[in-house]
Structures are given as C-alpha cells and as structure tokens.
Structure 1
C-alpha cells in the first residue's frame, strides 16, 4: 500500500484493500504484486512500523517473504517475538534456458566458422574478464532476485533484509572420508551438512524406489565390507525397506531386475551437483548487491533455517524456508503465528529475443522478424483488458497479449486462443519480463516433504 505521494505504507488485509477501492479512497497502482495507492492519506499521517524482507536463494527458484514481528510476553514470562508472514513469493529463474540458448548460439557460430575456414586453428579462450564476472545463466539469478527485491522495497517499508547463505563444501566432499560407522561419517562433516547435500542431490527421495515423505538412511552403493569408500560419491539416500533389502549386496545385483533404475542411479552418482555449484558461485555477490540497497542485511546459515522450519513443524518449500530465515528462539517463546495460504509465483520469462531473424537448424537466417517489438501501442507480454463486442468470444477478458503487425493481437486463455483488434484492448500493466500467478502453499510444499 502506498501513500498519496507514493511512499510505502504497511501492507493491509485484502478485505481492507477492497473496501478502500470500493469507496473511492484508493486506486490500483500495480496489478502484480497487487498494490494500491491512497488518494488522501500521506506518509506523515500514518503509523509505519516497518517490515522485514527474508530470502531463501536457490538455483532454480528463490523464496521471498515479507514479515512483521510483534513483541509479546511468552509462556516463560520473557519477551517473545511473534512473526507473521504477510506476503510470500516464489521467484522461478530461467538459468537453464539461458544456458541452453548460449550453447545453441555457440554451436551455430562454430558451424559457420568451420564451414568456410576448414583448417582454421582453434580460438583460444584468453579474453580477460573483470572481477566479479559471472556467466549469463548465473548473473540472471542475481539480477532477477534484485529486480523483485527493489520493487518490494519500493512498495513496502522494508527496514532490514535477512538472507540465507547456503553453501556446500564440494571440495571437502570430494576428499576421502575416514572409514567407520555411519554416525562416525556424519560426525566428521556434520550430520546436517552431509544429509542436506544428499537430499539436494537425490531430490529428497529414495534412490532405489523414489519413495518420499518417509525416513531416509544414508546407504553405501558399494558396501564398506566389499571395499567401498566413504566418499560422498559412494553415498545415496535409501528408505528403510530398500536399505535392509540391499544390505551389503552390490548395486548391480540388487537392481538386476530393474536395468533402467540401475543405469539412472549410476548416472546420478557420476553427475556433479550443478545446483550447488550455482548457489556457491552467486551467494556472496547476492549479499553484496543487497547491501547496496542501503538497508541492513543479515546473513544466516542454512542449518539455522532448517532447524527453525522443523521446530515450527513446516514442510519443505522455498517460501517456508524464507519465512523461517533468521532468529526464532523456541526457548524464549518465539513463534511463527501466520503462514499465508497462497503464494505469488513469479516466473522469469525474459523480454523476448534480440535477434531479428529466425535461424534454421544450421544457424543461417531463415526469415526476417519485425524490426520493432511494439505494435499499435502494445508489446508481447502486456497485461490487457479485452472487450470483445460480438462473436464467439464476446465478453470481457483480462489476459496477456501477443502482438502482431496487423493489429489483430492474440489473447491466450487457459482453454483457448483468439485474436482481438487493438482498438478493443486497454492496457493494465506493461510487460516486465515476468509472469504472475497464485498457488496454494500446501500444494507447492507437498512436492518436498522433510526426510
């Protein structure tokens, strides 16, 4: 909620926002995230306590939460903190698409060079890079997160930022771990560190049967009694029935009747954990970028967030991890008293391609694209209100638009697509490179259950 002059005020309940809009005391400032601006109230005449912005960075998605904290007297008589979740956002990155596009463009470039310069020597990758340089697929994760953070700081009175710094020591994992019992292995590197690494690599499921939502043990693919090492590359997660059924048998013998499963387990053991590498490469620069906003930034470990979430009895999801980031002292009586039932899912889509030609499979131009991206005042991705006066699609529609040079722009709904003249469209919000949707917190968190 914004004041008359555009200054951020405390977020209000949706029912209160509807009341203000219906009474003509506020106008819609932005559709997603939904923001209203009051017509008469100023920042000086409003009580602004301030909110906290909490982030759980990830490789594929980042959880963002806006919370406020109220002090109260706990059951022990000490001053406790009640944390309320006001807004939760799941920001989905498109680093994989960017990486695929860079690889495809490089393949086109190599093919064109080799076709004309058959005996050309390989080009050395000796170009200098500035300090802090990151590949575009990794730089995108920081830029998209900062874009949402800057926007939220503009619409809410953020007083401090709390961010979880997730890091796995992959170089230490690659070393030989001392032999001994499973408890001895976990005590070497810490139970939470090894377990969280394996949970991330095996997607919180049993490697042998894909079971989720059950207790998972750390199993040696090649048993120690048969010469197996204690490297993390020899460890998998297994449910109790699969762990007992396998015992000390070789994995080739245990999965002899399931060759597809055996091939997938072996491939996953050899595959590096790219998500961990991406998070390690971007975590420090993300904290530096957050500190440049002029708001105090507090970095917390992933172990603290994991303990807070389990203490509150919450399942695993990016948004719930963001809510649990920071200090929650259960002995003092701190509690997370409200979790939003719905979250705003923000998916990064980009602003289209800058190439004005469509290539064929060899990388050569096949056809020309329009030189401009704005046609009749609209661009692809704009949120518009369409009023169709007659025909099969007569009625009012609020959807994203795909533009055409002819002026007959396309509207896509959940069940159909149809064309509307630009004269029957009204702009609601310009395309900003993201799509917005709502989802239930329970449905999303059900994808990852705690082990």
Structure 2
C-alpha cells in the first residue's frame, strides 16, 4: 500500500502499488517522499477520504512497533529502533570534561548546582524515545488520514510482582490471569529455558528454590524451564542442580521494563495532544490477542494486537515492514579526540556543501575514471566539492567523486531505513536496505 496526497498535500486513502505505478506513468502523480514511499496527485478532482484508519503503537525500550489498520485490513507495518548509546556518550563527554579540570589549565567551576530542570523533565536517553514516537506519529498524520490511536500503556510493576498478595485477589484473578507475571519472566529470561537454553518449546514457570524447601512465590524466585529440566530438577535448588549463576541473574533488575514504566505516561500525553481518540491497552491483552490471531512474536505484529479494538480476523494488505533506526543528525562536538582526550582533528562548522549534506542518499552516475559506473548510497561531504559515497554496510564505494555527478534521492532526516519483506505464499523473507546514514 502506498500513501497518497492530493494536490494541496492533504492525505487521502492509501492505494495499491499497481495503482500508484499507473498514476506515475501517466503523469497524474509525482513522487512526494521516498521513505515511506508517498505519491502526490496533480489534480483536485479526486474525492476526499471517508475511511477510518487506526494507528497502533507497541511501545518498547529498544524497539517500538507501528501498525496502520483500516478495519480488519493491515495496510502498513513499521518498527522504530531507538538510540541506546545516549547515556554512554554523555558519560564519555562528562569524563572528558572533568579530566580537563584536573589538568594544569585555567580552573573551570562545575555548573551543575546552578541548573534548574523544567517540570516534567526526563533524562535525554528517555526523552529520545518519547521524541521518536512523537515525531513519527506527526509524520504519519501528514501521510495518512488517521482517526484513532491505540497505545499499549504497558506497566511492569516490579514491587507488586515481588509481593503479589499486597494487591489483593483482583490483581491475580480475572480474564487476564497469569499473563502479567509470565510476560515479565519471558522478557527477563529471553524466552528460553534458563537451564538448557531450549527455545520454541513450551516453557513452565519454575521455582529456583522449591516450595518444598520453603521457597516463596516472589518473582525473584521464579524462572522459566522446559518440562525435561523441570522434572529433572525436582525439589533441588538451582545451585544444587548445577546452576549457581541462575540465582544471581534472577536478582538482576529488568532495566528495559523500568524505562518503559518511567516514560509510558509521557508518551500517552504526547499522543493525546495530536487531537485523535486514544485507546489504551495492556501487554497482557496484546499477548492474548496475538495468540488468538496466531501471529509470531515481533514488535510490528504486537502493534496489530494492541487494545480491545483488535479485530477477530486480519487481512494483510502489505508484505513488508519498514525498519526505522534512529541515528541522529550529527555530533554536537566539533573536535575529534584521541583515546587520551587530546584533539586530533577539527570538524567544519558548515553543514551544507553545494546543496548536499552528509547523510543524504544520492545516486551518482560517473562517466569516466576509476569509479566509472552508477552508485547508490550515503554521501560524506567535503568543502572541496569532492564527496565520498558509502554503501548499506557503511563501506566506502566511491572516493573523491565530484558533486556534479550526484543526484539527491532522499535528504538526511536523522533516521536509517530498511525494508523487511514478510513471508507471503511461500516466498522466504528478505531484507533490503533502502536508506542509510553514516
């Protein structure tokens, strides 16, 4: 399915790729955007959209799944890959800054006591996840006439999981009984047996210290095991069974679950500001819907199953998933440092050269010379006008290419794009990178 805009850049109902191809060939439409692919009509005679489209969001700390549904029809799938290096980069910057104060240079007083944080402030590593979702919801609103949003407001309450009895009987019983604790354990133990590492087999909740040895039902005392290991372990502890490291790993907090819990209401507030009706769902309901629909475990498939609005039967109108990887728009630091913190090179403050910017996706047609041929990739700009081109693996495939031979395909927007084709009619899935940033 291809996104369609009218002459005034207002979103219309998406169309089939064959229809979009015909409109482009007959000159009735032009390409408006490459990623995601969008066409714009040249005439105003086409009717306005009357269908309802629902955007479903499966929020996760590392990946967020997106799905666009029109009733029971799935017309678009995507997955956002969040940046996970923000904290380590800030720690490195802080270490460099503090070491400079200890050298025989002019003294710089620390300023952290003079700074005030605004209400609702989040650490940059968490705010980045919120911004990614906010930006892509805004982008999709401009490309598709969305009418509703379904959002998985997931919560892993680690305190209640350690002591389930404090919340009473209602927490442990009902239609979704058993889903919350099991889903927590599946995420924590990597969806495999903690003892033999078996995957894609039925897993049972098992006590690290058995009840017969006065073990409790706390989640820190629970793990996952296949039937064979569970029966072989019997009433032995994990340490006597030959796995002393299991007890240590059980005590490790689930960091990803904490990140989602800390930012889930911030994401919800940003979604309500879009002016659309927002439906909230839980992770337990998402899993229950996914099992009923017999879908594999993945973030874009989880997004289809978010909320009570999930239909009993779905029809896929798309056979691909757009992977969106957050890369950023460059580094704030304009000086390259060596491992000791001393400068080894300086970056120019100019960002655009001859109409190109580092990270733009270009097509270079080189008529002669060492690199004669046609190249597609991300461009690295230089002030001289002779650029480098990198392929999808980040390997330099062209060096010193004149800017006159380059044509823009897509402007750098801080994201890297790749398309994963789903298995349809026996065709095995493949992955095709359609955009990359250095």
Q: Which residue of 2 aligns with 1:383?
A: 361
TM-score (norm 2): 0.87
2:436 maps to what in 1? Answer: none
For structure 2, list consecutive stretches of 5 or more residues without a partner in the other structure.
431-438
Contact 2:164 2:172 in 1 (8 A): no
| Residue in 2 that maps onto 1:341 | 319
The residue number in structure 2 matching 1:105 is: 93
Q: TM-score, normalised by structure 1?
A: 0.85
Assess if the C-alpha contact under 8 Å between 2:377 and 2:389 holds in 1: yes
Partner in structure 1 of residue 434 of structure 2 = none
Query: How far apart, CA to CA, are the structure 1 residues paired with 2:272 and 2:45?
Result: 28
**Residues 265-301 of structure 1, C-alpha deviation per residue, up to 9 Å, x if partnerless?**
3443232111111101111111110111111211122
8 Å Cα contact 1:5-1:42 kept in structure 2? no
> Among residues 270, 291, 296, which one is paired with 2:251 in the alignment?
270
- Correspondence for 1:356 among 334, 357, 360: 334
* C-alpha distance in 2 between matches for 1:125 and 1:172: 36
Secondary structure class of the residue paired with 1:11: strand
Match of 1:255 among 238, 242, 246: 242
Residue from 255, 259, 282 that aligns with 1:301: 282
Structure 1 residue aligned with 2:21:
18
Q: List aligned pairs for 1:39-438, cutoff 5 A.
A: 39-42=42-45, 45-69=47-71, 83-94=72-83, 96-115=84-103, 127-175=115-163, 190-255=177-242, 262-263=244-245, 265-327=246-308, 334-338=312-316, 340-414=318-392, 417-419=397-399, 420-438=401-419
For 1:74, the equivalent position in structure 2 comes to none
Question: Which residue of structure 2 lines up, in the alignment, with residue 78 of structure 1?
Answer: none
1:436-447 equivalence runs, <5 A:
436-441=417-422
Asked whether the equivalents of residues 86 and 124 of structure 2 are also in contact (C-alpha less than 8 Å), the reply is yes
Question: Structure 2: how far apart are the matches of 1:254 and 1:371?
Answer: 61
Higher relative contact order (CA 8 A, sep 6+): 1
Distance across 2 between alignment mates of 1:121 and 1:268 = 41
Cα offset, 1:339, TM superposition: 6.1
The question of whether the paired residues in 2 share the 8 Å contact of 1:357 and 1:368 is answered with: yes
SS of structure 2 residue aligned to 1:52: strand
Q: Tell me how many residue pairs correspond in the alignment.
A: 414
The residue matched to 1:85 in structure 2 has which SS?
A: strand
Q: Give the deviation of 1:42 after TM superposition.
A: 4.7
Distance 1:408 1:364 in 2: 29
**1:47 CA displacement:** 4.3
Distance, in Å, in 1 between the alignment partners of 2:336 and 2:247 is 39
- 1:177·1:230 contact (CA, 8 Å) conserved in 2? no
Deviations 1:329-381 (A, max 9, x none): 77xxx321226321000100001101110123243433211222222221121
Alpha-carbon distance in structure 2 between the residues aligned to 1:130 and 1:307: 39
Report if aligned partners of 2:293, 2:313 keep a CA contact under 8 Å in 1: yes
